[in-house]
Amino acid sequence: MDTIVLENEDGEELEFYVLEETTVGGKDYYLVTEEAEGDGECMIIKDVSERDSEEALLEFVEDDDELEAVGKIFESLLEDVEIE
């Protein structure tokens, strides 16, 4: 399983496991969890960098409308996942 490592405000590295990824409107989105196995809380991260950038600039999706829309796409891609 692929992982994404993000750094929080305190400089601490946080590792997330990528469950699925998709592209919507030219932006890459990742459905991630902190747990490698079992049921865990899912989060959606998006790459907000420019398309030709060599380095990804990742941030958590916080807009409710965007979360709902992208969450529905992930639910359709993964049969056994319900995103709330």
* pLDDT tens for each residue of 41-61: 889 999 999 888 888 899 999
pLDDT of residue 50: 86
Pairing of strands 27-33, 13-24: antiparallel
pLDDT of residue 56: 85
Tell me the C-alpha distance between 62 and 36, whole Å.
23
Q: Is residue 84 part of a domain?
A: no
Structural domain boundaries, residue 48 = 3-77
Q: Helices (DSSP H) in the chain: which residue ranges?
A: 64-77
Rounded mean pLDDT, 17-23: 94
Q: Is residue 10 part of a domain?
A: yes
The better pLDDT of the pair 29, 76 is held by 29
Count of domains in the chain? 1
Beta bridge partners of 32: 18, 43
CA distances from 31 to 10, 11, 18 (A): 23, 23, 6
For all residues of the chain together, what is the average pLDDT? 88
Q: Is residue 83 part of a domain?
A: no
pLDDT of residue 28: 94
Q: Is residue 49 part of a domain?
A: yes
Q: Is residue 16 part of a domain?
A: yes
pLDDT of residue 35: 85
Tokens 């992930």 belong to which residue?
74
